[in-house]
Amino acid sequence: PTSVKKLSRETNHFLDKKVRIEGWVRTLRVSKSFGFIEINDGTFFGNLQIVFDEGLDNFLDVAKLTISSAICVEGTLVESPRAKQPFELKAEKVEIVGLCAPDYPLQKKRHTFEFLRTIAHLRPRTNTFSAVFRVRSILAYAIHKFFQDKGFVYVHTPIITSSDCEGAGEMFRVSTLDLCNMAKDETGNVNFAEDFFGKETSLTVSGQLAVETYSMAFKNVYTFGPTFRAEKSNTPRHAAEFWMIEPEIAFADLSDDMHLAEEMIKYVINYVLENAPEEMAFFHNFIDKTLLERLENVVNSDFGQITYTEAVDILKKSGVPFEYAVDWGKDLQTEHERYLTEEVFKKPVFVTGYPKEIKAFYMRLNDDHKTVAAMDLLVPGVGEIIGGSQREERLDVLVKRMEELGLKTEDYWWYLDIRRYGGTKHAGFGLGFERVLMYLTGMTNIRDVISFPRTPKNAEF
Ligand code: 4AD
Ligand code: MG
């Protein structure tokens, strides 16, 4: 028999052929002389029905198989009499490879997502998480394809770094020193000269500063990797470890940046709809009944755009009793972002021109000297999924801003070099991978779209 490497709805070239399939029992129904097994072979979303009968040598053992046991089945793939699926497998041999213990926690009944988080090592075996992690994989590919097709160079930026890109001090320290019991020097500071790298290092919060330097060699680049934030926010949208896609484009300004972001979002939505239709139909039917219309609408509409100042006006005039008061100069909270995108625009919207005080040091100062060339993309259901900006390419302005913020310019000598050695205007953004995945699937908790979530007080597995 031919070993089936990948099942799909179009596996009809195997029809009436002898095949071998490996997988796990999802359901089992038996009567006296025959039975049905739904097997998940892991290669497509959905289960394959196996029909078996007394003709099997080990019929009685097969009839007693427990859910999630690993089996190998040989038989003939035939057209299914049932409309639900195109074909089924008539078993001639069922080899029991690994019997599943009786205390297996995933029995037929529906489990809550909260419960499934406690067994994150088993949840990819459920329909919902099978769909989530399949779409996650396809989405990652779509993102690479979008940039690669445009000629962007993929840059692997470091995970361990000695700079704090966002300047928010939310970094996880990396050290080989016993920091708790270490003797401090006479100034009360830890002597990092003795540390592995000879200086203070952390896990990166963003690959931006590094990828910016590469944009000055390749023009269009992107990085896509894990990033880490020791943010205390215990919300459904924040994880301590998440993945970020960060393109950087040279000879480009904020409007080029927004154009790229909009094109990318539309591209990946289309790609996933085309390449994961069954998973997307599942999310539409079981997670969010408005999902497909909503995504269709996003693909076919122009994203909205307002300035931060306009946004503040709209929010103030809305009369909505927000938990956090809106005031020019304060950052927008998720409730404000969601109001703007869900109630006012009813589609994705870019907010530009934030006050410099609430944004990072590298953003280009606008002519009003109060705001910066920043853009956040807000989407219904999630809020911010992208944060980006045009970068400050003017060396003197950048140095002045860093000094104002108390950053040690000597630590950023390499970043400043980029402004001195043939600098040009450039821009980029960061897309939260989990946030866009939530947006695409309708899943409402970031813990349910990342395999082993890391959140405050939770680093199980
Ligand atoms: O807005 P942020 O902080 O921007 C940056 O890091 C820039 N350096 C990006 C750049 O211009 N290259 O983060 C970017 C995006 C956010 O819009 C959000 O989608 C996601 O990263 N994000 C998080 N996702 C999950 N958990 C967290 N704790 C996140 N923090 C940010
Ligand atoms: Mg942001």
> What is the DSSP-derived secondary structure letter of residue 407?
-
Highest mean pLDDT among 161-165, 189-193, 211-215: 211-215
Nearest to 376 by CA among 340, 418, 403, 343: 340
pLDDT at 90 over 80: yes
**Residue bearing the bigger pLDDT, 80 or 294:** 294
Could you tell me if 209 and 411 are in contact, meaning their C-beta atoms sit under 8 angstroms apart?
no
CA-closest candidate to residue 258, choices 188, 305, 209, 210: 305
The structure's pTM equals 0.95
Q: What is the pLDDT of residues 31-40, one digit of tens each?
A: 999 999 999 9
Protein residue whose Cα sits closest to atom 27 of ligand 1 = 238
Cβ 131 vs Cβ 253: under 8 Å: no
As a whole number, the mean pLDDT across the chain is 94
pLDDT in tens, 310-357: 999 999 999 999 999 999 999 999 999 999 999 999 999 999 999 999
- Contact by Cβ (8 Å): 360, 343: no
Instruction: Copy the structure tokens of residue 60.
Output: 């009685």
Report the separation in Å between the CA atom of 186 and the middle of ligand 2, taken as the mean of its atom positions.
38
Find the residues whose C-beta lies inside 6 A of ligand 1.
165-166, 206, 208, 229, 231, 238-239, 242, 244, 246, 384-389, 428-430, 432, 434-435, 446
Q: Residue with the nearest Cα to atom 9 of ligand 1?
A: 430
